[in-house]
Amino acid sequence: MKNIFELIGNFVTKIFDFFYPPFGKYLHMNIRLYRYAMSGSLNVVFGWVLYFFIYNILLKHNNLNLGIITLSSHIGTLAITSPITLLTGFLLQKYVTFTASELRGRVQLMRYLLVFVLNSLINITGLKILVDYYEFYPTPSQMVMTIVCIIISYISQHFFTFKTNGMNENQL
């Protein structure tokens, strides 16, 4: 019996693939890259909406006091949204984009977590620079850093996290 994530992954894949023909034809985009872009875009937009909601509604631009440390509102928001988007991103990539990987799920998850930590460090550093040093608005700064992390993430996910035995590499 398929688990719930496989069922949802298959459903999402069918929806994405329904819209694939115009992208594949006009952008010369293969199916894996298309699914990565769609999964990533869905997760990014979800993350942006979540970031906006938490920053503006939940934290109301206030710092996040954790008792032993106080995080600025934009970094506190990132700390709240990151675990959520980590999980949704992993599930989308595992069950929609990189389904050919034969690595065990826990290996994939650990590798995904490593890439996530690298991207988080890049994201935090970029946010600190853009918001605190250059005084840009937090939400657009987060969007800029997301684009940087997308590029790093695709390369890492394809060649490290969801690595295949080479037989499916022609889909890149």
Helix, strand counts (H, E) of the chain: 6, 2
97 in a structural domain: yes
- Boundaries of domain holding 26: 4-163
Measured CA to CA in angstroms, residue 150 lies from 13, 66, 167 at distances of: 20, 29, 25
pLDDT at position 114, please? 94
pLDDT at position 166, please? 62
169 in a structural domain: no
pLDDT at position 100, please? 86
pLDDT at position 74, please? 87
Compute the distance between CA of residue 88 and CA of residue 24 in angstroms, rounded to an integer: 25
- DSSP assigned state of 170: G
59 in a structural domain: yes
172 in a structural domain: no
pLDDT at position 24, please? 73
pLDDT at position 172, please? 43
171 in a structural domain: no
Q: What is the DSSP string of 92-147?
A: HIIIII-TT--S-HHHHHHHHHHHHHHHHHHHHHHHIIIIIIS---HHHHHHHHHH
Q: 10-residue block means of pLDDT along the chain (172 residues)?
A: 83 93 79 89 93 93 89 90 92 92 89 91 93 92 88 88 66 44
CB 70 within 8 A of CB 135: no
Overall domain count for the chain: 1
170 in a structural domain: no
18 in a structural domain: yes
Instruction: List CB contacts of 73: < 8 A, sequence separation 6 or more.
Output: 55, 59, 61, 62, 63, 64, 138
pLDDT at position 84, please? 95
